[in-house]
Amino acid sequence: MSHMEKLFELLENATSQFHAVLETKKQLTAQGFEELHLKDNWKLEKGGKYLLDHHGSTIFAFVIGEEFEAEDGFRIAAAHGDFPGFRIKPNAEMEVGGYRQLNTETYGGVNLASWLDRPLSVAGRVVLKSDDVFKPEVRLIDLKRPVLLIPNIAIHMNREMNKGTELRKQVEMLPVYSTASEELSKEAFLECIAKELGVEASDILDYELNIYNADKPSMVGLTEEFVCAPRLDNLTSAQALITGIADGTRKKGLNMMVVFDHEEIGSRSKQGACSTLLPHLLEKIYLSLGLTGIDFKNALEDSLLMSVDVSHAYHPNYGAKYDLTNRHVLNQGFAIKAACDQSYATDSETIAIIQQICEKEGIAYKKFLKHSDSPGGGTLGAIASAMLPIRTADIGVPLWAMHSSRETMGAKDYEALVAFMTAYYKL
């Protein structure tokens, strides 16, 4: 399977943060990674490949080099598996004006207009009654077929539409799943979820269900040089990390990848990059190898963290929004993101390391900086490096329309990112 085919498969299957973890686990298990549990004592071996699932929505994987020495340090890369969109509230079903609708809340910075008139489906996790009250049964679900729609209004009823129209999350953005009728149960949607799981609706205690764009990914452009798909932010990075760590052949030190949850809402949670789990986990690995806490702390100095998340591609219709000299046209390579306010954690030393890897391996890259009058966003690099103080850089593929329900990237930029991640885990 080509790198692009693998990415397309992940884009179609990782329809919630839980499915991002599941799909990552499937790929790594097929590559010989062995699952560990946090509550166990670990017997780790040089040359061993391991993974750890943290509460179903964050996943770590690591490889201990065959010639591992304590002072060699670790090479980590971190991405995220969550994406902006809608979550279904409890007691969601409503009848309004002859239609059945769902009550929702938004997750992350949603470009609301991009969700109108799309075929929408539902994926996430459902929690069921169990004999042990402290261990409810958790089941993943993906309806796969489009069951919801958020219809726009006709332009005839809002002639000012193209001058900018306010969309309120609790009003214009509620999805429709059916027309109303006497025959339709008041809990028809919940019953559909229960049926899909083969349980009774009364067995369902709670759920975390995403509404996702069920559009398929596609290649676009005269020579198919663009990839247009839902969830490029940040499954492009997750897949590049999986491919990179599986193909990485570094014999010294420790290679690690993480796909975190909760980046889109600030990373401050037990599954987010602001958790102390990453340093705890690294220390546990060192102790499990018969080393000491001091050995672990000594290894920080020569270690590296790549925070891998999408960047902004130069858009020809909005040229004034971009930096004067550091703009990134699609298909020029992956982006190295920098900002002196440390919204990107990159510094000149890590940039130089990345540039030297790229020059050695013939990989295309471009430096991205923001327009100085536009504050822009940040990502998990600065947060993770505050919890684990090692040299850090922010990199990723540039996109058009970040946080739209469909985003666009350059096919060559993705190939460059995969090549870089493989080199990072190899050299």
For the CB of residue 107, give the shortest distance to Zn ion in the complex, in Å. 13
Considering only 40-48, 55-63, 164-172, 230-238, which stretch makes contact with Zn ion by CB under 5 A?
230-238
Task: For residue 280, give every residue at least 6 positions away whose Cβ sits within 8 Å of its Cβ, in sequence order, or none.
Answer: none
Q: Which amino acid is at 70?
A: A
Distance CA 308, CA 385 (A): 13
**Contact of 88 with 115, CB cutoff 8 Å:** no
Tokens of 299: 């290894």
Which part of the chain contacts Zn ion (CB under 5 A), choosing from 44-52, 144-152, 160-168, 232-240? Answer: 232-240
DSSP 313: P
Count of beta carbons in the 10 Å neighbourhood of residue 352: 10
C-beta closer to Zn ion: residue 126 or 399: 399
For position 82 contacting Zn ion by CB under 5 A, the verdict is no
Q: How many CA atoms lie within 13 A of 139 on its CB side?
A: 20
Q: Which is nearer to Zn ion, 93 or 261 (CB)?
A: 261
Q: Is 232 helix (H, G, I), strand (E, B) or coil?
A: helix
**Among 233, 394, 407, 413, interactor with Zn ion by CB under 5 A:** 233
Rg (CA), the chain: 22
Tokens 């991002």 appear where?
Answer: 20
The stretch near Zn ion (CB under 5 A) out of 26-34, 228-236, 243-251, 337-345 is 228-236
User: Measured from the CB of residue 402, what is the shortest distance to Zn ion in angstroms?
Assistant: 8
Site for Zn ion contains 53 (CB under 5 A): no
Nearer to Zn ion, 233 or 394 (CB): 233
Cβ 316 to Zn ion, closest distance in Å?
23
**CB of 109 or CB of 293, closer to Zn ion:** 109
Report which residue's Cβ sits closest to Zn ion: 234
Q: Tell me how many residues contact Zn ion (CB under 5 A).
A: 3
Collapsing DSSP states into helix, strand and coil, what is residue 20? helix
Q: How far is the CB of 258 from Zn ion (least distance, A)?
A: 14
Q: Tell me if 239 contacts Zn ion by CB under 5 A.
A: no
State the nearest-atom distance from the C-beta of 311 to Zn ion, in Å.
10
CB of 67 to Zn ion, least distance (A): 35
Tokens of 310: 């999408």
Report the alpha-carbon distance of residue 296 to residue 71 in Å, rounded.
8
295-324 binders of Zn ion (CB under 5 A): 309
Per the structure block, which two tokens stand in for 119?
């075929």
Binding span for Zn ion by CB under 5 A among 60-68, 189-197, 234-242, 313-321: 234-242
Query: In angstroms, what is the minimal distance from the CB of 398 to Zn ion?
Result: 12
Q: Under 8 Å CB-to-CB from 279, ≥6 apart: which residues?
A: 387, 388
Among 27, 234, 271, 275, the residue binding Zn ion under the rule CB under 5 A is 234
312 or 327: CB nearest Zn ion: 312
Residue 72's contacts (CB-CB under 8 Å, 6 or more residues apart) are 65, 252, 253, 254, 299, 302
Closest contact distance (angstroms) between CB of 278 and Zn ion is 18
Contact 101, 182 (CB under 8 A): no
Binding footprint of Zn ion on the chain (CB under 5 A): 233-234, 309
